[in-house]
A = this chain, B = another copy of it.
Amino acid sequence: MSKYWSDITKKIDPYIPGEQPKDKKYIKLNTNENPYPPSEQVIKAIQNAANENLKLYPDPTSERLRDTIADYYSLKKEQVFIGNGSDEILAFSFIGFFNPNEPILIPDITYSFYKVYSNLFNIKYNLISLNNDLSLPIDKFFIPNGGIIFPNPNAPTGRYVPLEFIEEVLNKNKDKVVIVDEAYIDFGGESSVKLIDKYENLLVIQTLSKSRSLAGLRVGFALGQEHLITGLDRIKNSVNSYTTDTLALFGAIEAIKDEEYFQETRRKIIDTRNRVSEELKSIGFNVIDSKTNFVFISHPYIKAEDIFNRLKEKNVLVRYFNQPRIDNFLRVSIGNDEEMNYFIKVIEDIVK
C-alpha cells in the first residue's frame, strides 16, 4: 500500500482473471476462450487495415461497426454502443446508470467483476442468493433497488433463464435499468435483444470474445434504447474518446458479417459441450445444464480443488473458485474435440 494511492485505490479488491501460465504448454480450459480460430475474413480485414491510416485516430463513434451490428439485430445504429470488450462497457454502465446510495441487485454467485465495479464506483449492492440448484430466484428481484445486473446464461454456473423470466424482472422494475450480460448467449440461449423495443429499461451487453473467437481483439457492444446508449456515450466521452482501435473496428465488422462461420463454430462447441456433459455424468459428475461454452461440474466424493490440482499436473487447466457455495465446483471451458477427449481421459482416471 502506498500513501500516494487514493482512498478508493486502497480499498478496492481488483478482479483476478484466469491464469495465463507461461511455464509450460497447457490445455487451457480456464478462461472460456473459443478453441476455433476467428473467421478468415476477420484476419484479412485486419491485415488490410494495418496500413498508413493507423497514424489517424479511429472513428470515435464506430459508425460502420454500429451499422453492421444494428443490421444484424434489426436495430437502429443509435441503439448500439461499442466498447473495449464487454468488461469496459460493464464498468461504464455501473457509473452510468447506478447511484452510490441505491443498492443494486447482483446474484451471489455470478461474474465476480460486478462486485469489483460496485466497489470501484462506491455503489452499494445487495446479493441475491441463488436457489440451491444454482438457478436465479425470480421473486428476489422484486424488492426495491437501484438497478439490476445478471448474466444470462449466468457464469460460472452456465444456467440460462428464458425470456419470460427477463420480462418479469423488467416489468417489476420499470424505473431501474436492468442489465442482461449476454457474454455467453450465442451458445444456445435466446437473446433479450428482441425485448429492447418494448422495454426502455433494458440494456443488453454482448462480446466478440467468446462466440466470435476474438478475445484478443477486445470488442464488446451494448444494445438498448437510444437514451441508454446516449448515457453510455456520455461516460465513454468522459474517459477516452477512442476506446476501440482501428484494427479492432475493421476486424469486428467482418466477424459479425461471416454468419456461416459463426453458425458452424458455435454449433461445434454446443455439440461438444453436450457430449462432454453426458460423458461427465456417466463417470459420476454432477453437471449443471449449460447454455454456455463451459460446464460447471462437481463430484460427489472427490473435492474440486483436488481434481483441479490433479488436472493441472496433467497439463489441463480449468477454473476453480475458492468461494462459498461453489468451492466444490470446477468450471471447464469447452475446447475442441481433441482437447476434450484428453480432458475426459484424464479426469476419468482421477475419479476412477
Residues of A that sit less than 8 Å from B by CB: 2-9, 12, 14-17, 20, 28, 31, 33-38, 42-43, 46-47, 50-60, 84-85, 87-88, 91, 95-99, 116-117, 119-120, 175-177, 200-201, 209, 213-218, 227-228, 230-231, 233-248, 251
Contact = CB atoms under 8 A, between A and B. Distances in A.
B55 A237 contact: no
Given A20-B59, A36-B55, 10 more contacts: A2-B227, A4-B228, A14-B237, A54-B216, A87-B239, A88-B243, A91-B240, A117-B238, A117-B239, A218-B242
B97 A5 contact: yes
A227 to B, nearest CB: 4
Given A84-B240, A216-B58, A235 B120 contact: yes
A208 B241 CA distance: 15
Q: Is the interface of A mostly helix, strand, loop or mixed?
A: loop
A102 to B, nearest CB: 9
Given A5-B97, A15-B241, A52-B37, A46 B215 contact: no
A191 B4 CA distance: 22
15 contacts: A2-B231, A4-B200, A5-B97, A9-B97, A15-B238, A15-B241, A20-B59, A37-B54, A38-B55, A46-B46, A54-B251, A88-B240, A119-B238, A216-B245, A218-B244
A98 to B, nearest CB: 6
A119 B60 CA distance: 21
A6 B179 CA distance: 14
Nearest to A203: B4
A58 B214 CA distance: 10
A247 B56 contact: no
B216 A3 contact: no
A247 to B, nearest CB: 5
Contacts of A200: 4
A200 B87 CA distance: 32
A117 to B, nearest CB: 7
A285 to B, nearest CB: 27
Contacts of A47: 46-47, 50
A208 B208 CA distance: 26
A12 B177 contact: no
B243 A245 contact: no
Contacts of A239: 87-88, 91, 117, 120
A98 B6 contact: yes
A58 B248 CA distance: 13
Nearest to A224: B4
Given A33-B56, A246-B216, A228 B2 contact: yes
Given A54-B216, A120-B95, A237-B16, A230 B2 contact: yes
A237 B15 contact: yes
Nearest to A246: B216
B46 A247 contact: yes
Contact of A246 (B37, B120, B217): B217
Contacts of A52: 37-38, 43
A97 B6 contact: yes
Contacts of A14: 233-234, 236-238
Nearest to A13: B238
A127 B59 CA distance: 32
B16 A42 contact: no
